[in-house]
Homo-oligomer: A and B are copies of this chain.
Amino acid sequence: MENSENKTREQIGFDILLNIDGEDGKKVIESLQDIAPDLGKFILEFTFADIYQRDVLDWKQREIITITSLLTLGGLEKQLDVHINAALNVGVTKQEIVEAFIQCSPYVGFPRVLNAIFVAKEVFSRRKEA
């Protein structure tokens, strides 16, 4: 883990989580502390330290893949909210997010696309107000 001196994988993951998901991601990890702290640790270590540090795809591409997966799985509106925010944080534009969801229509069907669009609508409007 070259860019880390003496940091643990968990600490590296936490730094990356903060960079990508911001406060929303931090809150998810904190809300696990009293019930399943190790789950938070695994998310930081595996998702953020192991996966998001990899080459070949940049963070913008990774977040587009992530929100596509979340839309497709269905029933994950809270996580879509966090990762639509994350996508915007790393430089994906609103138009690209909407367009990625539209691209899913022929493969996943309109209903899950609509759900994702309405989460995006909420995230976009919350960020405008802030």
Q: Which residues of A contact B (CB under 8 A)?
A: 28, 31-32, 34-36, 38-39, 42-43, 45-47, 50-51, 54-57, 61-62, 64-66, 68-76, 78-79, 95-96, 98-115, 117-118, 120-121, 124
Residues of chain B lying within 8 A (CB to CB) of residue A42: 46, 50, 102, 105, 110
Residues of B with C-beta under 8 A to A35:
98, 117, 120-121, 124
Closest to A48 in B: B106
Number of copies: 6
User: How close is A96's CB to chain B, nearest CB, in angstroms?
Assistant: 6
Q: Among the listed B34, B57, B99, B111, which residue makes an inter-chain contact with A100, where contact means beta carbons less than 8 Å apart? A: B57
Best-surrounded residue of A56, A62, A115 (most CB of chain B within 10 A): A56
